[in-house]
Amino acid sequence: MSNLKEQFKLNQLPALQTELGIKNTLAMPQLEKVVLNIGVGKNRDNQKFMDLAKDNLTIIAGQKPVVRLARKAISGFKVREGDPVGLTVTLRNIKMYDFLTKLANVTLPRLRDFRGINQDSFDSRGNLTIGIKEQIIFPEITHEKAEIIHGLEVTAVFKNSNPAASQRILETIGFPFKKIDAVNPSTSLGVKEKNG
């Protein structure tokens, strides 16, 4: 793929800046990183699951995952300090834009009965989190890699943003969102510029 980050900066960013009414370029909402997580849960002692989940996440993200360890013991979950509890990958720059474009245009449309991303998936700072139940929706996952089905979580992290502004940025990349009722016009695109 060509450098989508540069295309976004040259083509879409100036138009978005005008649309959002932000004069200072540094106050613009920015897509900072994309984080992919797999929680291993009760499978932490299952080496076959761990190896397959690592391989799948490496193939999906194009980058090796880091094993996250428990910081403290939780007896209710039978977790000891230092036990593996998840796998995570952080994507930035070109890899981040390539992954998001592939997710929006190839992966999500493969979901059965997919009608768009729910706008409730944004937090108050404009970060978007999508839960994916099965890794097999990614076209890179072969039948051999789908021997064990597991989910993953994708989080797009923004800076200087709110839900409406983040949604507009993701829409320019190609993300489909569910249409909201015209009765609820409370989705202002304005982003407050920081004072001082």
Tens digits of residue pLDDT in 82-119 = 676 678 899 998 888 888 888 888 888 887 777 888 88
Domain annotation covers residue 179: no
- Distances 138 to 1, 58, 84, 146, 185 between C-alpha atoms, Å: 17, 12, 25, 10, 35
Domain annotation covers residue 90: yes
Tens digits of residue pLDDT in 133-180 = 878 888 888 777 677 788 888 999 998 888 888 888 888 878 888 776
Would you state the pLDDT for residue 191? 42
Domain annotation covers residue 21: no
User: Is a pLDDT exceeding 80 seen at residue 186?
Assistant: no
- Taking the complete model, does pTM exceed 0.85, yes or no? no
Tens digits of residue pLDDT in 13-29 = 777 777 777 777 777 78
CATH value at residue 157: 3.30.1440.10
User: Is a pLDDT exceeding 60 seen at residue 2?
Assistant: no
CB 84 within 8 A of CB 67: yes
Tens digits of residue pLDDT in 65-80 = 888 777 767 666 666 6
Domain annotation covers residue 194: no
Residue span of the structural domain in which 82 resides:
4-11+37-173
Domain annotation covers residue 178: no
Give the pLDDT band (50/70/90) at residue 34. very high
Domain annotation covers residue 20: no
Domain annotation covers residue 188: no
Domain annotation covers residue 136: yes
How many distinct structural domains can be found in the chain? 1
- Reading across the β-sheet that carries 30-39, which strands appear in turn? 66-69, 84-91, 30-39, 152-159, 128-132
